[in-house]
Amino acid sequence: MKKTVFLFLKNALFISDLLKTNYIKELANQYRVVVFSNVDDPDMDRRLKELNVERVFWKLQNSRLFMITKFLRTACMHEFDKVSSLQFYYGSPAFQNDKRAKLLRLLSWPLAPLMTVNFFTAIERLFLRRSKLLDEYCEKYNPVLIMTATPGVQVYDAEAILYGQKKGIPTLATNLSWDNLTSFKCVRSRKPDYLFVWNQVLKDAAVNIHHFPANKIFITGSMRFDRYFDGSHPLPSREEFLKSKNLNPAYPTILFASGGRAPHQPKVLAKIIAARNENKIPYVNFLVRPHPFDDPEFYRPLAGEKDLWIERLSQPIENPFLNLKASLAYTEININHKSTISLESFIFDKPVINFMDPGATFQNKHYFDESSYYYPLIKEGSIFLAKDDSELISGINEYLKNPKKDSVARQRVADNFFAFRDGLSYKRSVDYLEQII
């Protein structure tokens, strides 16, 4: 009889990582799996059914509790005050204009040693309402492990971890992103019993910042990047790919990748297009890749420009991953605003330019502070950080002239972040379960 594991997933990105890759197939081969999710995704449901994985519709049971504790954690917790993204937030208008939050933060100072992740997690656990639905499934399957993607930085994951702790079921964060431990999100963390991390960089952050026991952390690699190292699905040629986007293969191509909901980013792209049209940079194609959380309509005013393609504003993408892989492989420069896609570009040794947000007063510190999750890229000199329009244009010209510039630094970062390049991180993530259950 197979042991049963419960897997809680909401975020579409994590569903893509875990349920639309070899991971779920490997997991279901060794364990009976029950997936709890409230995402409406026919492709996900079809795949789970094929693998005989039960799917349970699960909505947040304690939304009011987490709404309150999110506010209290952010205002009162002092455990992570040195994390740069939190310093950035506490100095921002969003916090400074919130009189209640500012007052609570001031009043909580004398109790700073107590205002920790463990303290707030204990409070949440105390007030957590029981779930009849989860009780029924626990009684039916007697799960040996509750898994989430993140260490509770999303409330969907947080609730699952807290239920596991209340019921004495071991908990595991199996697919945390590189910013979960060292970004603003860290105040929302809850400590599961185990962590699976991409690499030593994330393990060090878990130990040094979160005081997580080193023997409870396993380096598995990143399932998100496994497919880059899998050669079973060949790419089209560069010419075929660019022509499919109505781009001219005779020209170099700049990939412009937005990050999140950021209306200022199309303005940055417009300036680069103007620089091309005014011969301030060589003539190039533009392949625009809006972030999944970004609205491609922001870019519609630019759609009439020559040799420019905006994803998601045109026809649907048949194979999203192969499209992304080809986008990285067949473009000369990646321009983005501090995104994971910078790391992905390093797999192909492609130059990366990051640009500053002109409206963010504290942006400079946020980028360069040593506690920032993005700092390793800055420290190694693996990207060109453009602080203004003129630097952005000069960076483009420099990399088009010498694409191997900063290549050694890019590979250093890639070696640190891609602990394994065998495409088998999913298998390690399943195999390590034997050591914890």
**Which CATH number do you get for residue 356?**
3.40.50.2000
Number of domains in the chain: 2
Strand order in the sheet with 352-355: 308-310, 285-289, 253-257, 333-336, 352-355, 384-386
CA–CA gap between residue 197 and residue 208 (Å, rounded): 14
3-state DSSP call for residue 237?
coil
Domain match, 193 and 272 both: no
DSSP-derived secondary structure letter, 405: T
Number of other CB atoms surrounding residue 319 within 10 Å = 10
In this structure, is residue 170 part of a structural domain? Answer: yes
In this structure, is residue 26 part of a structural domain? Answer: yes
Task: Return per-residue pLDDT of the chain as tens, 437 residues.
Answer: 899 999 999 988 899 899 989 999 999 999 999 999 999 999 899 999 999 999 999 999 999 999 999 999 999 999 998 887 788 788 888 889 999 999 999 999 999 899 999 999 999 999 999 999 999 999 999 999 999 999 999 999 999 999 999 999 999 999 888 888 988 888 999 999 999 999 999 999 999 999 999 999 999 999 999 999 988 878 999 999 999 999 999 999 999 998 766 678 899 999 999 999 999 999 999 999 988 777 888 899 999 999 999 998 877 778 888 999 999 999 999 999 888 899 999 999 999 999 876 655 444 455 545 557 888 898 899 999 998 899 999 999 999 999 999 999 999 999 999 999 999 999 999 999 999 98
In this structure, is residue 306 part of a structural domain? Answer: yes
Domain match, 148 and 277 both: no
pTM for the model = 0.89
Domain match, 178 and 264 both: no
Domain match, 413 and 425 both: no
Q: In this structure, are residues 381 and 387 in contact, taking their beta carbons and an 8 Å threshold? A: no
In this structure, is residue 274 part of a structural domain? Answer: yes
Expressed as residue numbers, the domain containing 413 is 238-417
3-state DSSP call for residue 385?
strand
Domain match, 204 and 259 both: no
Domain match, 307 and 368 both: yes
Domain match, 16 and 142 both: yes
CA–CA gap between residue 205 and residue 193 (Å, rounded): 16
In this structure, is residue 71 part of a structural domain? Answer: no
CA–CA gap between residue 315 and residue 366 (Å, rounded): 37
189 — phi, psi (to 5°)? Answer: -75, 150
In this structure, is residue 75 part of a structural domain? Answer: no
Residue of 221, 153, 146 whose CA lies nearest to 188:
153
Domain match, 425 and 400 both: no
Domain match, 316 and 297 both: yes
Domain match, 123 and 140 both: yes
Domain match, 143 and 165 both: yes
Domain match, 258 and 277 both: yes
Sign of CA dihedral 304, 307, 308, 311: positive
**Residue 224 contacts by C-beta under 8 Å, 6 or more apart in sequence?**
17, 175
3-state DSSP call for residue 221?
coil
Position 144, amino acid? V
The structure tokens listed for 226 are 């496994």
